[in-house]
Each structure stands twice: as structure tokens, then as C-alpha cells.
Amino acid sequence: MSRLLKICFLLISMNHAEITHSQTSEDLPPLLHKAVEEVITGKYLNALLDILHFQSSNVWTADMLTKVMAYFHAQEVMFTLSSLQMSIKSYLKNLLYQPRQLLSEFQQLDQQQFQTAMKHLFNSRKDHLEMGNIILEWDKTRERIFQSPGVNRTLFLITLDKCFLALSALDCVDILSQVLRVSAVNYLQPDVIGSLPNVLQEDAFRNLSTVFKDLYDKISANTQRTLYGWMKQILQKSYNMSEFNESTSWVSAENLWILGRYMVHLPLEEILKISLNEIRLFISYDNATKQLDTVYDITPELAQAFLERINSSGFDMRNTSTIYRLGLLVCFYDDMEQMDAAVARALLHQMIKCNQLRGFQAEVQKLKSQLLNIAMQNQTLNDILGSLSDAVVGLTSSQLESLSPEAVHNAIATLNQVSGWAKSQVMVLSSKYLSYEKVLSFYNVSQMGALVTGISTQAFYSMNPKELSQIIRGTTSQYLPDLLPAQQQGILRKIAASGDFSSSVKDIQGAFFKEVSLSDLWKQTGYNSSMMKEKELRRSQALYLYELLSKKNYPVDLLSTGQLVKGVTCQLIESMGTDFFLNNLKFFEKNLHLLSPYQVNCLAWKFWKVSNGSIPPFLLLVLPTEYLEYVSGPLCVPFIESLGKTEMDLLNPSLHKKNAVLQKVQECLNGSIADEYDVDLLGNLICHLPPALLHGRMSLKAMATALHQFKLCQQLSHEQKTEIKYKLLELYGSPNNWTAETTLDVGPFIALLSKGELNVLAEKFPDIILQIAKTIGLISSAGELLSTVFESVSNATANIESSLTRPDCLGTRAPSSDAIIKLAEANVFWSVQELKCMDAGTFDKNVELLGTVSGFNSSQLIALKEKAKQVWGSLPDWKSYHIVSLGRIALALTEHEIEELDLHSVDTISVLSQQTEWTLTQARSILQGFLEDSGQTISTLKSFDLVGLGAILCALNSTEIMSIRTAEFSAAVARIGLLFCSTPVLRQFKKMTESVFGTATSWNGSVLQEIGTIAGGLNVDELKAFDKNLMPYFQPIAIRHIPPEIFQALSSEQIANLGPENAAMVTRSQRERLNASQLQSLQLALDGARTSTPETQTSASATQVVQTPAPGGAPCLSGFGIWLCAVFTLHLPF
């Protein structure tokens, strides 16, 4: 950087050099003369490009700089300091923060300047550009350019506009591929595709079509269709038109290969016209299979048309080799007549990839079921289990229960590769496999793949601890995060009890490490910073480990681990030296998603204190609202861009502050969203825009670009969605006229349409509506859509019961397997009577899916429970896997029915405790059932039992809680701290916590983080005794659980130090008990205000924010030198 400054000063000093003789333009080479004239007229971009081109074929000397300065004087061009600085500031702002202006400037470049720009932007491998002894840091400048979403759009548009005329087509294709990697979905809109050249040399066309094939999943359906049209147009031109007539197709084998995934846009009639020779040739290609493996969005009609042509072209469709070449077309295979078992098995083997299809899973399941029946002809399930591929997922738990342990053992190499198992199926298969193996060893477990999740907690706990340690280290460790918390706890407790925990801790990787208790961490030694790089940490673990490791490690080593940033306290941030803080801020910025809003607030205050002139704009969001006043004029664009790249919800601003931020954003945008450039700039902020802005101030052009971004928003309000709906209707017209592509692009927003409009779409595009409905989920936000889907599907697929069934079901429409799979959440619309009339086999096959429907009411759940009793027999006969498969249906069990169940297994309890709607009496029955059936008392429960009981623990009485063993409680306390129990129960848990961590008044931040909601059981005196600096370390869920009459005992100072996140969790009933002083403190905490450091600085600071010094703080002064200095070294605001 010092070398750069020398260059700046060298250039600047030339402004003041005495010119001893007159100089005219004749002394300057023509191109340099042109550049100097462009500087004088303020065309800095043109001048820079001319200079770069000049020096590519000329040696740059200091003498030339002297001539340049002499020419300025000869022309009597006198740049004053202020005017030149203003010009340069304005230029740089336009360059990077006004991409529309940049587009205009690019359009005015001559061909040579454009070529130079493209060369240095896209083909230059240089880190620096040299002009004699002047070195410019080009790599950083280029990086800043590519980080700006608007500038990237400009580069994309200017490439389409000028590149194919100025550069070789191959170079332009390469440039397009680089720019489109940034945001294909936003840039490649249908209207832009019209700018693509419609005549391209063959190599360039192939390369560009390859780029578009790679981007297929990242662009809208309408864009896919438009790009298909563009490719078709060029391919048709290159096709021998003399052979072209109505009965032949332009689609050759090679053209099919060039189309790639775009082949799914071929019309049905075009596919049926493809020459049989060309189809034969295409299927013979080695890469045809690879291509057909990726046509995820093909429809049954098109797939069957291709299958028909392949069949007609002479391929034997029953030949295994042919079947292997069909890719995803096998998912729609329909020639089942007189098929032998070997062919059925070959098809099933290929159908393992069908779960990648977009939709049509019910049809796939049906086909698999038919093939399964053929594959099993004259054989038992035991004989052929290993050759059924993932069709085994379609077997019911009862069918799996009938398998022999030997059959499961022999088929394990197939079973361990299958995905999509239900918990109950995994439980059955695991127990079968392990009953054959007799002893549970590392080798046996490593053979099981995903079936590991079916091993019981007790079986894990019974294993040799050394074998368990091998599991943690081995390939099976990838499945550990999928285990239930009780299973994870069983493994950890056994290893901890073995005395070998210290050596094992370093081998526990990923999310599994989060299950290690704080008290267990306390007991171990030998930690180092490198050990932490592959682990995920809870905040309590991070706080403890950061403090421990900081005694022997450099802070930079701790910060670079990533997860340990969760353990950086406000005091640590405050104590950092200015240079260290600024140099290592990157570790915090990179891991922003790991920081709490309180930590981000501390970072913002630290930054403001040490370098308010370069504070990242998103940090202004977490400072008090008045700091937003510093954002205006040139700071607007970087402010919005910075926020747009941040998830605002991570920073957790209060509603008041969020509204102030959005008001500032609107001011910066002049109250409207004019076009796609504004959408690029807004980024994630688009999810937070107020409905009024969407209603009247958003252009249709902006809406077309924003649609994809809106679909990614997690929490749009009903009002926002309503305005988006009206904009979409304005953009696309009446849904009666929508195409399939438009319907797909609108996606989840179809849920906002009227019933009549939905009916029209459901009739035209039933499969698309079904596909969209599956992604939407809960009924509350999509009732009309789900109801439309239900009517469409149930009318087409439900069974009308015949007279052979029970009399009360005669003429009743009963749910079929096909319908249940298609409907998902829309199953909620079956009447109680229809559910009662469901066929026993249909229930047995689909019980897991029905158990996931969140909208079933109590009457529907009771009907399904009674159906379970009818299918599985009396309650005492139910196996663990039956109970586990019920999901929400289990909520319909009465306390007396619960008493009849076999609840000896903590794994069964683990699954039951995941339901959050149990009544206290039901929970009490589950607890008693578990204790009686497992032969335990509260005092014998292990930590994994406590973790498995989960929310059921809220049904314990005070005597029972106090009889839990301290060592077991300490291992499970973090999990217990996630429960929402009543205050009396939390008070007892708090007493137990004191037996682990000492009296409440001695707790530190890591303990408060560890115990979660248990802190809601503190009494008045204990709460008042906490140091104000500990207040941010209460977990947010704990704040909600402090009773209002106790919460009001907090001092104003304690409340002011809650931190923004905790302050936002204060409930209305808690707030109502606070006095004026406490309420004022609460507002300070919500605003992120500082109570112990100097408040908002003087107005002089405001000018500091706007000013942005050159690197190292040295100012650029004046003249030609400042221009070059500024272009390459001026640190733009933020």
C-alpha cells in the first residue's frame, strides 16, 4: 500500500511542476492526446481505457506524464482541489453505485475502448496494471466491480448489446458465462433473450447452449421456454431445410443432445415425428443416459412419447441394457404385459433415481408397487429382498416385520443405500439385522448405512465404549446428526462413563458435538483451537471454550475457527486494540449468521468508536435509530446494498427500528422501485418492503425481476402477499389465460387467488398445482388452494366403496393410496366418515404420511386411531414401530389407552415426546407407562431417558424432579432447558441446576446459556442479584418464561442491558408490570443503545462518516494524479 501512496504523490507533485516551455498536442501520441482530452471533459472511463490500450503497445515513461501535465497547463485547464474531488467522487459513485449511468457510458465507448474494457475485466489474469513505475491494484478494483449486483447486470446487458459486434463470438460466450454465474435468474428474463444473436457460428452456439443448460435450474420456467425457442430457431436454420417438410422433424440425434434438458419443451407432436434412425442414434450415444438422468421436469405424456419412439426404433424395451439407457424415462414405463421378474427387478433398480422427479411421485409409487408384485412372482420377499432397490420403502412395517433376520442380513448392502425410510421401517429392519448379528460391534454398525438411526438407545449404551469411539471417527459418523437426541445422548454417556472421554471429544465432529454437556466439557482437558474447526458449538460451549482457549492461543487462531466467534463476549470486543479489531473484522463478517444480535450490537459500537468513517452500513441498523440520519446522498446506495446482502432478521431489529430503516430505504430510492436495477440493489431487503410501496410504487419491470426473490422470502405478511398478488395479475393478466410456465413461476403465490381462479388452473394444469401445493404446507396460509387440490385429486382417484364393504360405507368415497400420497397436507379435507371407510391396507401403507398432516382435528384423529386399532389389533399387541408410525394420530389416545401400550422403549417415548399438543393427563400416562414398562423409577433414569422424555418431563411433580440423579440431570440440562414447562416445574428444575452449577447467584454467561428456560424458575432475589452484564446471556426463550411479577423486580439498569434480542422477547404481560423508568430502559435495549459509554457523538462525526480517506489515511490532493489515485485506491464509502 505504501508503494501506491508514493505513486499518488508522484502524480500529484507533477501538478505543481514548473513547465518551462510551451507544449502542444503534437508532443503527445494521438491516443494519449485523446485520453487527456477525455479527462478534461470528465470522460474518465474512456480516458482510462485509452491509456490502457496505449500502453499495451507503447512503453510508458515518466517523460510522458510530464508532457501530459504540460498539455493541461497549455490548455489552461486548472483543476481546483474541490472541483476535481467532486468530479472524481461523482464519477466513482456513478461507476460502482449508479450502474444505469455505467451502462450509458459503456454504450458510448468506441469499439477499441470496449475491447480493452472486456479484456481487462474478463481475460486479464494480472493482479496489477503497470504504467511505467506506477502500479495499480487491479485485482481489488475488479473484485469490487463484480461484487456489485447492478454493475454485473450492466456488464451482462452491454455484453449482449455490443460484444458480438466487437469481439469473437467465443469470447463473448465466455464473458456471458462468467456474468451469469452471479445471478442468472435475475438477468435472464424472457424479454432479454430477444437480444441474443440469432445467427452464431457452430462452436459459439454449442458453448452458449452449454452455459444455458448448466443454468437450467436457476432460471424461471418462462425463461426456460423462451431459451428453448431461441435454441430451436438456430437449430432449425442449421438443419438441412431441403429435407424439411411437415412430416419430418428438425430434431436430429445431435440436436437432441444440444438441447439437453430443454428437450422437455419439445411439443408432443414434434417428438412423435422424430426420425426413428435419429432416436436410435441418440439412445446409442454414451452420454444419452446422463442427459436423460437430468430431465427432472419431464411430464408422463412426453416421457411415454419418447419411450414409444425408442421402442419403435428397434430397441428391445425388455433388454436390461436398454433399460439402463432410459434415465428418468423408466419412471413412466408402462408396458407391463407378460413381463418376467428379472425385467421388473432391472426396472426397479433403475427407478431408485425417480425421487428426483418434480412431482408424479404417486404414479411412481404405483408403478413400483406393480413391479414389486411382478418381481415377487413364485418367490418370497425373503428370497429377493436385496434385488428390489428402493421399492422396499413401499413395504409396510408389517411386511418388513415378516422378514427373516437372515434375509435382512444378506440384503444389507442394498438396504444401506436406500433413502426415504420412515422411522418405523428403520426400527424394524435394524432390529432384524442386529438379531442376526447377536453382538453390536463397530463392523456391524458400519454396514448399516442410514439404518443406523434404527438402533435403539439402549443398544448403543450397551456397546463397548471403544467400538463407540470408532463409530464417531468412522464413515458412520455422517449419520450421527440424524439420530434422535436420546440416541446421541446414549452414545455420549457410555463414552463419558468409560474414562476415555477426553480422547474421544476431539473426534466428535459437526452438529453431534452440540450434544456434549457443559459439565462434561468442564471435566476434560487437552483442548486446542484447531480441534474446534470441524465442530458445531452451542453458545454455552463456545463461551466456555473461548475463555479457556484464550489463555494459551492467539485470538486470531480462535476467531478463524468460525464457531468460536459465538463465544466472544462484549467485554472482549471492547478490549480489542483498534488495529487488531479492524484487521480481524472479516472473521465476524464471514460468520455473521453465528453471532447473536447482542454481539453484532457490540461490534457496531466498537466500530463506531474506532473508525466511524468506514463502518459497514448494515451495522448502523443495530445502533439507535438516530444514527440512520447519517445515511444520505452518496451513502444511500452502499447502505441499501449492504443491508440487501444481510439477513435483516439475523440482526433482529425491533419493529420501530425496522420501520425507520425501511423509511430510510424508501427515501434513498425516491419512494419507488423503478426497475430491475433497484431490485438488484435491494437484495434480501425486498422481503421487508411495506405493502404500500409494493402497491403503488413498484413498476411491472421491477416486479418481473423481483418475483423469484419474493418466492424465497420466509415471512411475508398477508398484506404484502396481497399486494404481490395484484402486481402479478397486472403483470401476467387473468389466471384464465396463464400458461403452464407462468403458473410455475408464480408458484406459491397462486394460494392467494380466488377459488374460481384456482379451479381454472387446477383443470388446466392439475400436476403443476399439485406440485406447488406440496411445497406450501400449512393450511392456514393456503386453505383455498389445498381445498382445490383435494377436490381435483379426490374426485379423480378416490375409491367408491362397493356393497362388499361394511354397510355404513356403502357409496362413501374412501381415500386411496394414490390420493393420500398426492394430497399431503390437503388430506385434511377428508371427512370423518371417509377416513373411517378407508381400506385397512391403505391405512397400513400410508399411516406415517397421515400422521404428518398438521391440520387434522380431534374427530379426524380419533377416526384414524380407531382405524389403527382395527388394522393392528388390540393396544397391548402394538409394537414400538406401530406407535412410532402414528405421528399426530397418537394425540387421540386417551390416558387409559396409553396405559395399555407397551412403552418400555425410550425410543418410542422420544418420538411421542416430539408431539407438542399432549394434555397434562396424557403426558402423565406416558411417563407412568414408561416407568412401569421399563421397570424404572425417577431416581434410576439415565440422562438419555431424560432427553427422550423431552416435553413429558413437564408432567413431573416437585418430589419426582428432586429425585433425579444430579449427574444424569447435568448431562441432559441443555435439552431440558429447551422445554416450555410451567413455572412451578421450572422452579424445581432450577433447584436441580444449582446442585450442578452452584447457587444461582454464582452463575456465569455460559451457565445461563446452557440452562435455557430453566432460568424462568429464578425467584425475585436471585434475579435482582445478577450483574447487569449477564443480562444478555439469558436465552431469549428464558425471558418469556420469567413470570411478570418476578420480571418487574429487575432494575432499570438490568433491563437496559438485556440486549436487543432479549428485549424483543419481553411479553405484553411482563411489560404491563413495568414502571416508566423500566419501560424507558427496555426501549434503550430494543434500540441497541449504550448505557455505559458516551452517547451519540457530535455533529462533526457526521461529516466523518461521509468522508472516506485513501488507504492509510493519506489524502489524495489534486490534479491528474488524484484521478488515477482515486480510481484504483480510493476506498469507496463502506
3-state SS string over 966-1014?
HHHHHHHHHHHCCCCCCHHHHHHHHHHHHHHHCCHHHCCHHHHHHHHHH
C-alpha cell at 706: 423481483
Region of 652 (left: φ > 0; alpha: ψ -120 to 50; beta: rest) is left
Of 329, 392, 336, 391, the residue nearest 360 (C-alpha): 329
Do 744 and 768 contact (CB within 8 A), yes or no? yes
**Torsion (CA) 115, 120, 124, 127 in degrees, nearest 10:** 170
Instruction: Please give the pLDDT value at position 84.
Output: 52
Distance CA 210, CA 194 (A): 18
Distance of CA 464 to the CA centre of its chain: 39
Do 266 and 302 contact (CB within 8 A), yes or no? yes
Percent of the chain at pLDDT > 70 equals 89
Instruction: Please give the pLDDT value at position 5.
Output: 35
Do 999 and 1026 contact (CB within 8 A), yes or no? no
Instruction: Please give the pLDDT value at position 870.
Output: 95
Element (H, E) at 130: strand 128-131
Instruction: Please give the pLDDT value at position 302.
Output: 96
How big is the chain by its Cα radius of gyration, in Å? 34
Distance of CA 24 to the CA centre of its chain: 62
Of 679, 554, 557, 573, the residue nearest 619 (C-alpha): 573
Instruction: Please give the pLDDT value at position 799.
Output: 64
CA 1001, 1005, 1007, 1010 torsion-angle sign = positive
Do 970 and 493 contact (CB within 8 A), yes or no? no
Q: Under DSSP, is residue 1119 helix (H, G, I), strand (E, B) or coil?
A: helix
Instruction: Please give the pLDDT value at position 1065.
Output: 94
Do 1091 and 1057 contact (CB within 8 A), yes or no? yes
Distance CA 151, CA 832 (A): 59
Distance CA 1050, CA 1047 (A): 6
Instruction: Please give the pLDDT value at position 1105.
Output: 31
The H-assigned helical ranges of 75-168 are 81-92, 99-107, 111-118, 138-146, 149-158, 164-166
Q: Under DSSP, is residue 552 helix (H, G, I), strand (E, B) or coil?
A: coil
Do 674 and 702 contact (CB within 8 A), yes or no? yes
3-state SS string over 804-819?
CCCHHHCCCEECCHHH
Residue in the structure block whose three cell numbers are 425417480:
354
Residue in the structure block whose three cell numbers are 427422550:
948
Region of 998 (left: φ > 0; alpha: ψ -120 to 50; beta: rest) is left
Of 308, 234, 222, the residue nearest 265 (C-alpha): 222
Instruction: Please give the pLDDT value at position 638.
Output: 85
Task: With a cut of 50, list the residues of the chain below it in pLDDT.
Answer: 1-23, 81, 803, 1093-1134
